[in-house]
Structure 1
Amino acid sequence: MSSVTVTQNNFNGGELSPLMGARTDQTRYGNGCKKLHNMLVLPHGPATRRPGFQYLGECYYKDRYVRLIPFTFNADQTYILEFGHKYMRIWKDGGLVINKTGRPVEVHTPWTSELVPALSVCQSADVMFVACSAYEPCRILRKAHDVWHIESVRLGSRMKVPFLLDAKVKEKGTRDYSYIVTAIDPFTREESGPSESFTVKGPETISVDDPVTLTWESENKDAVYAVYKCWNESGKYGFVGQAKKRRWIDRGATPDFKEGFPIYRTMFQRADAYPSVVQFYQQRLCFAATNSQPQTVWMSRSGSYNNFNISDPLRDDDSIAATIAAERVNKIEWMLPGRRLIVGTAGSEWSLGGAENKAITPSSIKFERQSVIGAAPLAPLLVGENILFVQHGGKVIRELQYSLQRDGYMGTELSILSEHLFRDNPVVSWAYQQEPYSIIWCVLQDGSLVGATYERGHDVIGWHKHSSQGKFESVCCIQGKDGDELWCVVRREINGEERRYIERLVSYGAQDVTEQIFMDSAMSYRGEKTEVCSGLEHLEGKTVQILADGYVCPPQVVRNGRIQLPTPASVVHAGLQYTSELIPVEPEIVLTSGSSSGKARRVGRVCAKFHESAGVQIGAGASAPRDVAMRDEPGLDLPPALFSGEKVVDVSGGYAMQSDVVFRMEEPLPATLLSYTMQVEIGER
């Protein structure tokens, strides 16, 4: 019989697939876990209990799908848009935005709950563009904090077309001269469509002594005007001059046929011609993937998002239409701007840019295939300089990294070591929470939540699984006061009725133990000491955990939206219980006689190192996890302090071929495991 000591001081390998059970040679095996449930791994190495979810409010429709979309104007002005069945509501600072009448701001939308998951969005300042294959493109405008509006995208120039064009000559001649005038914004240089042409009979040769005087009317203020002229039977117009007033004199100017007036393009007018994807790239608004042209990208004029006009001949800032030339007609699922415009289709990934790495123009544009993986319809995430996307089918997470050597992007699978989390369970929604721990959150089809702590610079990719007494449906992140906030739509069953709640992940690591919340759908009370807490109607009939002034109270059933405390308290949190559990991988122990494989083993003692923890249970093998005493009573009117340091537990498990160590947390208290050491006795056989 041999006795050995084994230590694991890093858990950021995350929860590993059962198929990794024998891969002791793999680097992440020694840092991984068999089970990591409702626990997060930190980039530094420890594993910590996930905070609870705070209840914010109920969705407008409780029986239909709801999606959350972030709206970020700047770091201080961030909103959450609640999209449901033909409506949109706005959330900010943990509550609904209220209008001047005291009612929540609500905007009627054309999208049903079945179409909401497929909406593609992109934002510029106070305007969000929305694309959906079932409706014409729309844009959502924030005109004030409590004034929001939705309208169809009106294609064309914002400049009004000049009208009532007229021309005068000293004496009428025999030669026809035709003119067209456009209006130009002097700041953005955006040009209107052409006026109606006006033809005048003039002299054979226009000169200073025999000019043509043009006049017109215009609704534009502070505009300049471009004049185009046709003087032969070709019908082509060329630029001849510019005017600051609504009058211009032709003294014999020769048309420049290399510069023609804009030509309006009719687009997105039919049911099969509505784009399903929208994005920005190089100061252009880009639409893509209609039902009739699933591999085509349309780009607006540079700096003019609604303007898809072209010129004859083409100019560099004209709008662009480009189609992927591929072996198969795979629909464009998403676009993402970067060094180039990255385009994900159902069969491959492409980059779109200008020739020789220059700005994209109508005459300088090319597609280059980057990989042949295939993408799901979910919009990708940009993490640093890397692009994360869900593979076609929804069960694999991929990463596109730019390679300087190949001057292109290379794809890597991020979920391969934890593939069991996604087996027959595709991703339906996801978001990236950059602060404080860089976590990718994925909602799976079964309603569970999966996270990945992702720090590519430190080679940290650790997956962890989360659940609640309900099913997650949608997630998104916005920047908050204490880092990024994760918002969720959670479907819960209350008294036999389906309800949909909007909840927010509680901030990590509050310093005061009385403010730490480790319950789901939780509500809080802060004020004078009380024995009765109300406001829990959303959990009517549910058994809730209670933390009052830092003390754990016995669970209670919510009745009439209330709970009764055993003693008065001034800071109370109540919510649904969830269990956190960590089971490290079984280490490969090398003995002087060889490997420990195939030999029975017994764990006799576990030494765990904690940081600001309480409420932990430890067990091993067949022995049930038992409580570890951590918190000492600090004195009157003070909450028990959290424990940091080492705790030694005699677990006395029996001999078995496998003897897992289990760390479990069920009380509404924080726990962070830094490392653990176990003493293992290896049998002779």
Structure 2
Amino acid sequence: MARLTINQTNFTAGELSPRMLGRVDIARYQNGAEIIQNAWPLVHGGCTRRDGTLYAATTKFPAKRSRLIPYVFNKSQAYMCEFGDLYVRIFYPDGTYTGVELVSPYTEAMLSTIDYVQGADTMFIFNTQVPINRLRRIADLQWSLAPAPFVTKPFDEKGISFTTSATISDVTVGTGRTFTSSVSAFLAADVGREIWSGGGIAKITAVVSATVATVQVITVFPVTPMTAWSIKGSPQTTLTPSAVGTVGGIISLTLGAAGWRSDDVGKFVKVNSGLVEIQSVSSTTVVSGIVRGAITSAVASPANAWSVEGSVWNDIDGYPSTGTLHEQRLAAAGSPNYPQTIWESRTGEYLNFELGTKDDDAMSFTVSSDQINPITHMAQIKALIALTYGGEFSLTGGVEKPITPTNIQVKNQSVYGCNNVKPVRIGNELYFVQRAGRKLRAMAYKYDSDAYGAPDMSVLSEHATETGIIDMAYQQEPESILFLVRTDGVIATLTVDRDQDVVGWARQITDGQFESVASIPTATGEQMWVIVRRTVNGVQTRYVERFTSGIRVDCGISATSGPGASVWSGLAHLEGKTVDIVADGVVMQQQVVTAGQVTIPRNAFVVQIGLPFKTQIKTLTPEVQGNAGSAQGNSMRIAEVTLRFLQTTGCEINGQPVAFRNLGSQALDKPPVLFTGDHRMENLGWDRGQASLVIEQNQPLPFHLLCVIKKMTFND
């Protein structure tokens, strides 16, 4: 019979996967737990009861989903934005609603695919269905949300797109086919241009009327009639500028045949090494425009030597899905029809995407690979990073040089792919959720291989994220914790400090389902906010709440009364719910909220009232190597256990209460003295093949477990 003292000094490996319960041979088994629920492993080694949440507000539309997005100008001017179905509401850091509500173009269905980046007091918001919007704070109660007023958007020779019906007399390859549009579509200068629809291509050989053209079918059209089609290229005729024109001047552009259309206003014409933005259309042959790039000559330019180009950000091609700020440029990427294209603004001019070849000009380039990889997110660590559905790419200039229109290197670093969850940077690593939503990877530059690696941070605790991740945010202080919202409403937390080799997972559960998470800085660190779906009085509703240090209930209130009070109101949001009550530091009997209030037996000056939650830690069966080999599978008895606590009161071990408090005439109705030190318990019994402890904190009281010391007996 072997007698040993085993000390589990820390929980820095967090909650290990059930798949890992046989891996008693690895170091993380000794530092892990089978369950860590409603507690946080700490970098220092111990485990502490998680913070509770304070109620801030009910979402505007409780029956609809909403999303939290932080707006941070500096550490003293930070706000939380509630994005919902076609609205945005602004909150102060203390949870107070500012009263500011903005009209938003984002529907409930778009919220999960919104991306954003903020520079100073301007936030750019991206979604493929809506032009890039700009959220700005002018003053605390003055905000604006509107399409960003770009000086110039990226443009290309796109031709003209139609969403009206059209037919063709014969879809097969051949000449003399008749193409008929349901609306006026053709002009004389369209002869020589191509019609595209659904893979079919036809060249226009003659224009019969505004609605009828004769075409040569080059590639078979899959269907007729067609509902979407386009005329590619530029008008096939000469173009003559009225003057050479300097930048900012107004000139006219004349075609040799009818080719201008009313919707050409706002498009750009490249001619004779210059650039002209069309301001007005005088006729089908003459337009006026402002010179954006100096024209070198006023001579006529033949067909195909000039071009008319339109913005690639539009309702038909879609808008960028993501963006970031990099090297004083606004980078945008991932529109539906240009899924692998990245656009970068002029240096220092976020609203100017006029393409050029000078080092500070705007630019566009395509992330090329052997498969279609739509860009999902843009971010930066050591380099500009493009995260796509199928892989991760780094974008750099030359050696120690910035990216320029003539100097760009794109390298495929890995092929994991990512989902819609916005990546989070922690130190020098970029944390992103793999495309299936079940793995968390940390991308970082590796000096030994001169490449970027992205190891799986959830490999030993894959169960923590197995239902899928839909949102995440990072708290740097007071504890380094990454919050990940799962599809089932549980928050998986990752305590992470790579320098200390701490990667500790845990699960945070509440009476409801977490749906969104975000963080903003405060004077003492980052404050985590959540949107929680709860069922109250039989009705499903959604609340904006914030994790707050010192609060040990959920969806709670923290209230004070100078003269003291026994009736406490402000609880209408918890009508009919059973709540925990802490009055002047003393835990009172649970009560049911009635008419938005509760009544306690005596007057109190300070209370916390909210939903209860239970902290639970279940230790793993220890591994001991002896002369006969492993102790696994043997009869085990924990003869004595010593728990080392810090500032703790109220706890159970295997269902047995831990007596922290000494009763006496001076102890009643006073807060319990917090205990720091070792607490010993005996006679916990035998068990065949396992010797785990279940340590629970069921009360809204402080709990901080430092280590677990077991005196054990093993029998064959």
Fold shared per TM-score above 0.5: yes
Structure 2 counterpart SS, 1:95: coil
The aligned residue for residue 519 of structure 1 is 553
Deviation at 1:231, TM superposition (A): 5.5
| 1:414 lines up with 2:457 in the alignment | yes
Among 350, 365, 369, the alignment partner of 1:305 is: 350
1:144-543 matches, within 5 Å, as 144-156=139-151, 178-182=243-247, 195-196=250-251, 228=294, 230=296, 233=299, 266-311=311-356, 314-423=357-466, 425-507=467-549, 516-527=550-561, 528-543=563-578
Deviation at 1:640, TM superposition (A): 2.1
The aligned residue for residue 261 of structure 2 is none
| 1:27 lines up with 2:56 in the alignment | no
The aligned residue for residue 645 of structure 1 is 677
1:546-565 matches, within 5 Å, as 546-565=581-600
- TM-score if structure 1 supplies the norm length? 0.82
Q: 1:227 to 1:372 in 2, by over 3 A?
A: closer
Structure 2 counterpart SS, 1:420: helix
Specify the code of the residue in structure 1 equivalent to 2:496. Answer: Y
Contact 1:534–1:563 under 8 Å retained in 2: yes
Structure 2 counterpart SS, 1:272: coil
The aligned residue for residue 140 of structure 1 is 135
The aligned residue for residue 627 of structure 1 is 657
Structure 1 counterpart SS, 2:686: coil
Q: 1:309 to 1:646 in 2, by over 3 A?
A: same
C-alpha RMSD of the superposition: 2.3
Contact 2:381–2:429 under 8 Å retained in 1: no
* Structure 2 Cα separation of the partners of residues 133 and 96 of structure 1: 32
The aligned residue for residue 247 of structure 1 is none
Q: 1:598 to 1:135 in 2, by over 3 A?
A: same
Structure 2 counterpart SS, 1:412: coil
Specify the code of the residue in structure 2 equivalent to 1:276. Answer: S
The aligned residue for residue 639 of structure 2 is 604
* Structure 1 Cα separation of the partners of residues 630 and 556 of structure 2: 49
Specify the code of the residue in structure 1 equivalent to 2:689. Answer: M
Contact 1:264–1:309 under 8 Å retained in 2: no
Q: 1:226 to 1:296 in 2, by over 3 A?
A: closer
Deviation at 1:338, TM superposition (A): 3.0
* Structure 2 Cα separation of the partners of residues 27 and 195 of structure 1: 74
Deviation at 1:392, TM superposition (A): 0.9
Specify the code of the residue in structure 2 equivalent to 1:614. Answer: T
* Structure 2 Cα separation of the partners of residues 593 and 489 of structure 1: 54
Structure 2 counterpart SS, 1:343: strand
* Structure 2 Cα separation of the partners of residues 290 and 157 of structure 1: 17
| 1:657 lines up with 2:689 in the alignment | yes
* Structure 2 Cα separation of the partners of residues 198 and 21 of structure 1: 76
Q: 1:569 to 1:408 in 2, by over 3 A?
A: same
Contact 2:396–2:403 under 8 Å retained in 1: yes
Specify the code of the residue in structure 2 equivalent to 1:385. Answer: N
The aligned residue for residue 112 of structure 1 is 107
Tell me the alpha carbon deviations over residues 26-53 of structure 1, each in whole angstroms, 9 at most, x when there is no partner. Answer: 1111100011011111101011111111
* Structure 2 Cα separation of the partners of residues 45 and 657 of structure 1: 27
Specify the code of the residue in structure 2 equivalent to 1:140. Answer: L
Q: 1:177 to 1:463 in 2, by over 3 A?
A: closer
* Structure 2 Cα separation of the partners of residues 229 and 658 of structure 1: 84
Structure 2 counterpart SS, 1:417: helix
Unmatched segments (≥5 aa) in structure 2: 154-240, 255-290, 303-307
Deviates more, 1:30-39 or 1:274-283: 274-283
Q: 1:115 to 1:586 in 2, by over 3 A?
A: same
Contact 2:244–2:298 under 8 Å retained in 1: no
Structure 1 counterpart SS, 2:250: coil
Deviation at 1:95, TM superposition (A): 3.1
The aligned residue for residue 169 of structure 2 is none
* Structure 2 Cα separation of the partners of residues 590 and 637 of structure 1: 50
| 1:84 lines up with 2:121 in the alignment | no
- TM-score if structure 2 supplies the norm length? 0.79
Q: 1:150 to 1:328 in 2, by over 3 A?
A: same
Unmatched segments (≥5 aa) in structure 1: 99-103, 159-175, 183-192, 200-224, 237-262, 508-515, 620-624
| 1:18 lines up with 2:18 in the alignment | yes
Contact 1:178–1:198 under 8 Å retained in 2: no
Tell me the alpha carbon deviations over residues 224-243 of structure 1, each in whole angstroms, 9 at most, x when there is no partner. Answer: x999564574879xxxxxxx
Q: 1:392 to 1:198 in 2, by over 3 A?
A: closer
Q: 1:233 to 1:10 in 2, by over 3 A?
A: same
Deviation at 1:141, TM superposition (A): 1.5
The aligned residue for residue 588 of structure 1 is 623
* Structure 1 Cα separation of the partners of residues 137 and 372 of structure 2: 38
Deviates more, 1:644-653 or 1:633-642: 633-642
Tell me the alpha carbon deviations over residues 325-384 of structure 1, each in whole angstroms, 9 at most, x when there is no partner. Answer: 111102111000233210001111001122334211111112111111111121211111
* Structure 2 Cα separation of the partners of residues 376 and 357 of structure 1: 31
Tell me the alpha carbon deviations over residues 110-168 of structure 1, each in whole angstroms, 9 at most, x when there is no partner. Answer: 1111101110101111111111111121111111111111111232269xxxxxxxxxx
The aligned residue for residue 172 of structure 1 is none
* Structure 2 Cα separation of the partners of residues 393 and 194 of structure 1: 53
| 1:667 lines up with 2:699 in the alignment | yes
Structure 1 counterpart SS, 2:601: strand
Contact 2:586–2:669 under 8 Å retained in 1: no
Contact 1:264–1:310 under 8 Å retained in 2: no
Contact 1:156–1:264 under 8 Å retained in 2: no
Contact 1:177–1:230 under 8 Å retained in 2: no
Deviation at 1:398, TM superposition (A): 0.4
Q: 1:651 to 1:561 in 2, by over 3 A?
A: farther
Q: 1:194 to 1:485 in 2, by over 3 A?
A: farther
* Structure 2 Cα separation of the partners of residues 197 and 318 of structure 1: 26
Specify the code of the residue in structure 2 equivalent to 1:180. Answer: G
Deviation at 1:194, TM superposition (A): 5.3
* Structure 1 Cα separation of the partners of residues 329 and 390 of structure 2: 26
The aligned residue for residue 160 of structure 2 is none
Tell me the alpha carbon deviations over residues 247-302 of structure 1, each in whole angstroms, 9 at most, x when there is no partner. Answer: xxxxxxxxxxxxxxxx9862312333311112111111111111111111111111
Contact 1:583–1:663 under 8 Å retained in 2: yes
Structure 1 counterpart SS, 2:30: helix
Specify the code of the residue in structure 2 equivalent to 1:55. Answer: Y
* Structure 1 Cα separation of the partners of residues 451 and 626 of structure 2: 48
Q: 1:414 to 1:234 in 2, by over 3 A?
A: same
The aligned residue for residue 48 of structure 1 is 48
Specify the code of the residue in structure 2 equivalent to 1:680. Answer: M
Tell me the alpha carbon deviations over residues 40-92 of structure 1, each in whole angstroms, 9 at most, x when there is no partner. Answer: 11101011111111111111110001100010001110011100000000011
For these two proteins, the number of residue pairs brought into alignment is 586
| 1:126 lines up with 2:168 in the alignment | no
Structure 2 counterpart SS, 1:148: strand
* Structure 1 Cα separation of the partners of residues 634 and 569 of structure 2: 57
* Structure 2 Cα separation of the partners of residues 349 and 157 of structure 1: 29
Deviation at 1:22, TM superposition (A): 1.9
* Structure 2 Cα separation of the partners of residues 394 and 277 of structure 1: 18
Contact 2:93–2:520 under 8 Å retained in 1: no
